Chain A
Amino acid sequence: MGILEVKGINKRFGGLQALGDVNLSVQENTVHAIIGPNGAGKSTLLNVLVGKLIPDSGSVMFDGQSVLGRKPHEIAQMGISRVFQTPEIFADLTVMENVLIPCFAKRDGAFRMHGIESVADEKDLNEQAEKILSEVKMLDKRHMTGSSMSRGDKRRLEMAMCLVQEPRLLLLDEPTAGMARADTENTIQLLKDIRTERGITMAIIEHDMNVVFSLAERITVLAQGMPLVEDTPDKIKDHPKVREAYLGEAQV
């Protein structure tokens, strides 16, 4: 029994079958990559997992509880965090404030009226935020605003915000898309560190095979909305069906 159990998900957009009977089981404490050619339904699947899309049929269970029909903030409070293709951060706020917000969300839940206390007086949370920032090596940038940072730094910041939530499952949607080579390497290293130090379960959707094969422990290949195979990276590399559907003539 995996921490995330996806069973028989179907989703149609008009005449297009975006997801057809998708089954997926993400085991606790693994990095599970979901790959597939363009239009395979990867993003649709991710949107179903975080409550943004409701599938036509099927079930998504996280740790024994259904996530279908729940709002994104409820799913986040259950312990699922998400990293977006384009980093979603609070661009107008400082790096420190960016990290403080999930600190409050973690401690106080989805809503609390705290309009009189001062943020500066919350010593514990400020310390926690600084600790996380030094973990992702951004402590020296804590007074900068989110919008003034490089793509790679925005990604680190977003990751830091997810770590604050102490998620049990981290969903990553093409975490290195559009990044320079060096930033990609840094991000892979950061994810590896998080993986070894915190043992967070991850589900990654990714195009870049370099990223996939350096991180993943299990790989599911989607093609035209259906899961094609699921196996370890070594087996996937040489799987004839995968080569045919996804890799084509190109060699990895």
Chain B
Amino acid sequence: MLGLNSRDFKLFIIVCIMALVAPIILNPFPTDSALGQSFNAGYPALMQRFVIFGILAIGFNILFGLTGYLSFGHAAFLGVGSYAAVWMFKLLSYNVVPAILLSVIVAGVFAVVIGYVSLRRSGIYFSILTLAFAQMSYQLAYSVLTPLTNGETGLQVYNGDPQILMSAGDPKTPHLFGITMNGQSQIDLGGWSFVFQNGYYLSALFLIASFYLSIRIFRSPMGLMLRAIKSNQTRMSYVGLNTKPYMLAAFVISGMYAGLAGGLLAAMDPLTGAERMFWTASGEIVIMSILGGVGTLIGPVLGAGLIKYLENIISKINESVLQQWFAFMPDWLEGSLVTILEPFVGKGWHLTLGLLFMAVVIFLPGGLVQGGQKIMNLFGRNKKSDAKRRADAPAE
């Protein structure tokens, strides 16, 4: 179906359904309950981040997962995409179509330049080169190119901006031919309320398209060549293949994915700043991929979702929430538990992430996907066919 084999098609359908019904399934607890307040993730601002960072991770995986080239500067493309999109809002209009188009194109051009230089080296040197480029971009955006980026304040749309394509009746926020991104409809069902936001659904459609394209690339001759690069470049050149253009193509495609993610971020909220390019942002992309499962189709999306979930959920938990949870315990136990856990929640959520990351790298080097496979095997799901499947498609 759709040019996919049956197993990929199943995975694709699952991703489609998950993306489309996310506003429902991410709200398992009644909205006003304590659990709902703490753990529900089905609100637009967070779901947008799930899918947008999912797109970013899918693109990153095409480079890192297939070729094994670890780019440590991918946030630069995200940032460039965001700036391009906001400029489109400033110059043309709040319509997101030109903004997203330009963000992808600009990020692609950027990736050609950075990739051409960085791909002259491999391994750690490649990573350092991309990191250097990203930090240069950050510094340029932060303090040198202020007319373009508005420096520290961040780039946003002002009343005095030209917006030459803007007509009188147009919304004053990003929109798709009149459908505003922050427009939403809410359905209340018993204790639950589900919010369906236009911006989320636009991003979700892009995620679905990105995911589909990534499956096609993984299963294509080019995907095979990229995996060959990871495996043995010497043999590759001795069978008559030029590795350089393949790597550059992978780099540019993955840069364009990042540009798309940057454009979508700006479309959801029309402002951007240099911090989107900071090296910690690049590091986060790497962590997402590894957490989810490098080189697998679905892993990076899961990793991106998990990190954004932890970031938003754990950072909301604070001392009083913890006290509320453990209120049923004797005072001395409650007090000590709260003291132990407090550093790991709220602003300390990075500590939790760090522990989780260490656990995954040590016990599940294949990431969440490997964890999932292990659980499946525990339930004894026809081990023989699993083994055969892995042999057929090692780069699942």
Contact = CB atoms under 8 A, between A and B. Distances in A.
Contact of B220 (A110, A111, A115): A115
B370 to A, nearest CB: 16
Interface string A119-154: 111100000000000000000000111100000000
B324 interface: no
Contact of A93 (B231, B239, B246, B249): B231
Nearest to A144: B391
A143 B389 CA distance: 10
Interface string B226-243: 011011101111111111
B350 interface: no
Given A111-B245, A114-B222, A119-B220, A71 B394 contact: no
Given A73-B240, A77-B240, A113-B249, A119 B224 contact: yes
Contact of B240 (A76, A114, A122, A158): A76
A10 B349 CA distance: 64
Interface residues of A, number: 47
B216 interface: yes
Contacts of A43: none
Contacts of A101: 224-225, 228, 236, 239, 241
Interface in A150-179: 158, 161-162, 164-165
Contacts of B316: none
A88 B221 contact: no
Nearest to A147: B231
A122 B220 CA distance: 10
B231 A91 contact: yes
B10 to A, nearest CB: 16
Contacts of B91: none
Nearest to A122: B221
A116 B212 CA distance: 10
A184 interface: no
B240 A115 contact: no
Contacts, number: 122
Residue from the set A81, A109, A118, A119 with the largest chain B CB neighbour count within 10 Å: A118
B188 interface: no
B222 A115 contact: yes
Interface string A78-96: 0001101000111111100
B221 A117 contact: yes
B253 interface: yes
Contacts of A146: 231
A100 interface: yes
B223 interface: yes
A90 B253 contact: no
B104 to A, nearest CB: 16
Interface in B235-267: 235-243, 245-246, 249, 253
Contacts of A112: 221
Contacts of A120: 5, 219
A88 B234 contact: yes
B120 interface: no
Residue from the set B221, B230, B236, B245 with the largest chain A CB neighbour count within 10 Å: B221
Contacts of B223: 115, 119
A119 B228 CA distance: 14
B219 A118 contact: yes
A106 interface: yes
Contact of A111 (B5, B234, B246, B394): B246
A249 B216 CA distance: 63
A84 B234 CA distance: 10
Contact of A76 (B5, B239, B249): B239
Contacts of A116: 216-217, 220
A108 to B, nearest CB: 8
Nearest to B393: A94
Contacts of A110: 240-242
A97 B224 contact: yes
B335 to A, nearest CB: 53
A94 B224 CA distance: 11
A115 B239 CA distance: 20
Given A93-B228, A94-B391, A105-B241, A161 B219 contact: no
A38 B228 CA distance: 33
A161 B235 contact: yes
Given A89-B235, A92-B227, A144-B391, A102 B240 contact: yes
25 contacts: A50-B238, A72-B238, A73-B242, A77-B240, A88-B238, A90-B232, A90-B235, A90-B236, A92-B231, A94-B392, A101-B228, A104-B221, A110-B240, A111-B242, A112-B221, A113-B249, A115-B249, A116-B220, A118-B5, A118-B219, A120-B5, A120-B219, A122-B221, A143-B388, A144-B391
Given A93-B227, A116-B217, A144-B391, 20 more contacts: A50-B238, A72-B237, A72-B238, A73-B236, A73-B237, A76-B240, A90-B235, A93-B228, A94-B392, A94-B394, A111-B245, A111-B246, A113-B249, A115-B217, A117-B221, A122-B221, A145-B394, A158-B235, A162-B239, A165-B240
Interface of A: 50, 71-73, 76-77, 81-82, 84, 88-94, 97, 100-102, 104-106, 108-122, 143-146, 158, 161-162, 164-165
Interface of B: 3, 5, 216-217, 219-225, 227-228, 230-232, 234-243, 245-246, 249, 253, 388, 391-392, 394
Which 10 A-B pairs rank lowest in CB-CB distance, beginning with the nearest? A76-B240, A110-B242, A90-B231, A102-B239, A115-B222, A143-B391, A88-B235, A72-B237, A92-B231, A77-B240
